[in-house]
Amino acid sequence: MIKDQELLTAILERAKWHDVDKLVMYMALDQRLSQEHHVQMQPHHLECMQEKSEIDLLETVIDYECSPYTKPDKPLNAYDFLNKLISMNLVETTTANRLLEIMHTLGIDRSYSVTEDQDGMAYANSLTDITEEMILQETEGYTDPALEEWISAQLKKHH
């Protein structure tokens, strides 16, 4: 969807870190508290009071668009979810317009079901048996060796 190579590189780098804070918090806090803290502190969530850059909002759109692939309880694509937020007065008009502009640029400014994306759904469905070891392996490249050892020790301690 992202045609601009510089922007694509930037968003792929952000994707590496997108929810890593939650993974670390899960070791100390329950899932609900970890999620609440994440939403309040990460500017790709509209609930976060930090000012939003265009790349923050692009990450918001991508987060919304990906949600139906991994969360059966959230079946709406980004466009439909934003319209739901608008109808419930949960997003400011200026922010909604900025998000719609991003969706237009990406070519996803319309209603559709992600279930139409058979390849994407097949891939998402293949990821049902994620283990903590797989998460640790995935995050290895993002941490320094000392933090990596600590995370590994915490995972072993809790299981």
Q: Which of 140, 137, 18 is CA-nearest to residue 70?
A: 18
Please give the angle made by the CA atoms of 22, 23 and 26, to the nearest 5 degrees.
80
Q: Which residue has the higher pLDDT, 89 or 141?
A: 89
pLDDT for the residue numbered 91 = 96
Q: Which of 60, 65, 74, 50 is CA-nearest to residue 11?
A: 60
CA distance 8 to 128: 27
pLDDT for the residue numbered 101 = 97
pLDDT tens by residue, 112-153: 888 788 888 888 878 777 777 776 676 666 555 666 666 666
pLDDT tens by residue, 29-87: 888 998 898 899 999 999 999 999 999 999 999 999 988 887 888 999 999 999 999 99
**And the tokens for 48?**
């976060």
pLDDT for the residue numbered 94 = 96
- Do 108 and 65 meet the contact criterion of CB atoms below 8 Å apart? yes
- Do 78 and 61 meet the contact criterion of CB atoms below 8 Å apart? yes
Residue 3 has pLDDT above 70, yes or no: yes
pTM of the full structure: 0.75
- Reported as a pLDDT band with limits 50, 70 and 90, residue 157 is low
Over residues 102-108, the mean pLDDT reads 94
Q: Long-range contacts made by residues 36-41, C-beta under 8 angstroms, separation at least 24?
A: none
Amino acid at 138: E
